[in-house]
Structure 1
């Protein structure tokens, strides 16, 4: 990274210049710098609305950048150690989909862990690519999926030498990392591309003593959610690319689905956040890691909770651990993670990232403060005192290995009918069922519905999980393939 260049923020600077010119707008958006929507201007502020503008020559065009956006892309690539960086304004979802669609045609295989975000399986439905699932290891005590084992990846490659790519989470939602460098080297020896979902790993590029990032590991592409841990606005991300793929081809693929009206609020937030992290990321994430480790230590002193960390590292399916993820196992105090999640929000005014059947997750990043973490620790201590109960009868698993019968695209577009979930055992699902967050499917199109899955769905609903994915919003019915 060339630090002397990183002080620039070309998109932000171009917007400031545009604002100073007091241009009279006869283009879109129709609110005309906020004048046409005073309530929205009052809510978001005149400064914000005045730079919610359309593409024009002085501000470049995201679809075909030649000036300020092009320069901002080059600075981002330099900051992240990538060959090229694309600004993404349709979320990391569109970055994940662009990665898969850039390298896989209809009918071509991609090796991936089954605990991927739904955006990856959506990409298979859109593109017609065929998944070869490597079931991740599972930590039975915590009930969480781990990373991909090297031997499992080797086996998948041997059995599918025609696969085009390997897709890897770095890290998982819970902070667990696979051996990214070894898997990348193995894939490249077999002439396969390596695609990395780094939705939760933007800090890996800037923090000290972090797990290896995708570009440093030699991966071909990485989808990086700057808005999650890097400080940019929600829905803004980077798609990073190595040297093996054509920049023009990837941009064409992005442009298949990304808006032609890129938000300059999102673009500027990426530009400014990249500059902040390039210049000060080391100290920012050093502090975030220290705060997370302090909170982890204090939570483990309470007893009953287990805030897990690097002690899980086993050199394979848990090759490394992201210490900024404050993942906490709650089942030993007799509460599901989602119950603790709800109590924290409703009774203590604390919103954490997710609660699932056995765990909660607090994301610690650029904006966290020690006082807020003290409040979280004391609230968890009080919740234990007030709500602790016998843990017998609690569901003791989180990840269920799926039985994949059909490719996602084939299942999604097959003839289907709706049946009651309780009557669906043995049928093939035509849609998703997932708790959101984290958005990892319990069921995906083309997978066999089992009694274990139905029990899990019923338990998650009873505990208050937010279930999504089915056409039936009440999740009483599910669409299955016609037999």
Structure 2
């Protein structure tokens, strides 16, 4: 059987189709019994969807210990991604990121990582007790965004921490910035450290032509891939990929520490079917996505003041490459925060983009987009500039502040704490996270010292309408700090 022929199969989907033909009488969970127990829900989601929302059983395999159709589907996914193993993840890429870290780190172990990681990586440190060694990314001050990891800074961190277990890399960032993945991987391996890559926004790297290098192609040990983002599967479904030197059986054990024992077959089949589509048509699909993104980028840059950036940022190090599918747009020269443009697009133009932060917005372009939708976005941005442009004086210019790490994340999170007003928290050590979501990169993480600059940033983000999460106080008027009493 050739590779192309094998990728025509979708074993989980095929098994579900056969199962549906059997007309099995269900005396198992879920309790809606193929939708018969909740007509309103069935009318809303559809009979086919409800009839396929089934429990693990012998003909359908078991996600916790796959031996038949799920195992076959994982093998096909591994082949499609060029990995030694692929694990189906139904707790999202959050679960995959946490599995990577917990597979290589125990309490007290060090892991080298950029501070602009997703909250899931910080939370993994809280769960397993690993110690972060942060490589602070440089910032593009014009755009106010953090960049990739500088190779020399990674080397410095490795030499200063030869006992670190792994190097963790974001690739690409939310904005499309890529680090020198291959060089960092080779450097880490020379020092007997594993390489873990958060590729939540890089599914397409495996299937498109002339896109940045994927983690598996670079020789990384593990990678987490959000198939539901640019890959087209259902929300919350992802892959965890491992290289040839990883212990797949142990990784499965770590996955099973936190992943549900009731894996959704709707999510599993969506991974299976989407993998099939990308394996067979991915090159053509992502060529179209790149073309659409470039069209929109060119048109937006003709408007004036908005800046849709791309490969011109490449400098061979902190911006080693750029993901041209990403339509990242700086809003600073319009005098509007990214979150303000985000709100205007949604509230006045019925356009929902991926996120807006202090100075940028991201319109996520994928297989499902159409040319006319891009034209509508361009037209709306042109109108927003005409209607809302204002003086940019007094605007904050950055989305990243270098942290002052005082205590390990796990120790800080579980330490005795007290709640103090945000305005009175300067100089104290935070025991929880504060972040704008999306993108979900903590402004503060447990164990970091609160500074006046950070408080100013949080207040500015609140004023502009950013959705702040992570704190026990839902209004983020108070913050938990380590109690010294």
TM-score by length of 1: 1.00
Q: Give CA-to-partner distance per residue, 1:189-227, whole Å, 9 cap, x none.
A: 000000000000000000110100000000000000000
After TM superposition, give the deviation of residue 3 of structure 1 in Å.
Answer: 1.3
Instruction: Give the Cα separation in 2 of the matches to 1:46 and 1:20.
Output: 14
2:380 corresponds to which residue? Answer: 379
Instruction: Give the Cα separation in 2 of the matches to 1:381 and 1:278.
Output: 38
2:392 corresponds to which residue? Answer: 391
After TM superposition, give the deviation of residue 11 of structure 1 in Å.
Answer: 0.1
After TM superposition, give the deviation of residue 243 of structure 1 in Å.
Answer: 1.1
After TM superposition, give the deviation of residue 244 of structure 1 in Å.
Answer: 1.1
2:14 corresponds to which residue? Answer: 13
Instruction: Give the Cα separation in 1 of the matches to 2:214 and 2:364.
Output: 18
2:243 corresponds to which residue? Answer: 242
1:183 corresponds to which residue? Answer: 184
After TM superposition, give the deviation of residue 86 of structure 1 in Å.
Answer: 0.2
Q: Secondary structure at the match of 2:481?
A: strand
1:85 corresponds to which residue? Answer: 86
Q: Secondary structure at the match of 1:132?
A: strand
Residue 25 (structure 2) pairs with residue 24 (structure 1):
yes
Aligned length: 483
Instruction: Give the Cα separation in 2 of the matches to 1:243 and 1:105.
Output: 22
Instruction: Give the Cα separation in 2 of the matches to 1:139 and 1:37.
Output: 53
2:195 corresponds to which residue? Answer: 194
Q: Secondary structure at the match of 2:361?
A: strand
Query: 5+ residue gaps in structure 1?
Result: none
Instruction: Give the Cα separation in 1 of the matches to 2:3 and 2:93.
Output: 26
Q: How does 1:153-168 map to 2 (within 5 A)?
A: 153-168=154-169
Q: How does 1:330-341 map to 2 (within 5 A)?
A: 330-341=331-342
Q: How does 1:80-479 map to 2 (within 5 A)?
A: 80-479=81-480
Q: Give CA-to-partner distance per residue, 1:340-392, whole Å, 9 cap, x none.
A: 00000000000000000000001111111111000000000000000000111
1:66 corresponds to which residue? Answer: 67
Instruction: Give the Cα separation in 1 of the matches to 2:244 and 2:325.
Output: 30
Instruction: Give the Cα separation in 2 of the matches to 1:230 and 1:436.
Output: 22
Query: 5+ residue gaps in structure 2?
Result: none
Q: Secondary structure at the match of 2:407?
A: coil
Q: Give CA-to-partner distance per residue, 1:294-331, whole Å, 9 cap, x none.
A: 00000000000000000000000000000111000001
Q: Secondary structure at the match of 1:280?
A: helix
Instruction: Give the Cα separation in 2 of the matches to 1:205 and 1:345.
Output: 32
After TM superposition, give the deviation of residue 397 of structure 1 in Å.
Answer: 1.9
Q: Give CA-to-partner distance per residue, 1:239-290, whole Å, 9 cap, x none.
A: 0000111110000000000000000000000000000000000010000000
After TM superposition, give the deviation of residue 447 of structure 1 in Å.
Answer: 0.2
Deviating runs (4+, > 4 A) in structure 1? none
1:52 corresponds to which residue? Answer: 53
Q: Secondary structure at the match of 2:6?
A: coil
Instruction: Give the Cα separation in 2 of the matches to 1:257 and 1:466.
Output: 27
Instruction: Give the Cα separation in 2 of the matches to 1:196 and 1:365.
Output: 22
Instruction: Give the Cα separation in 1 of the matches to 2:138 and 2:364.
Output: 23
After TM superposition, give the deviation of residue 396 of structure 1 in Å.
Answer: 1.7
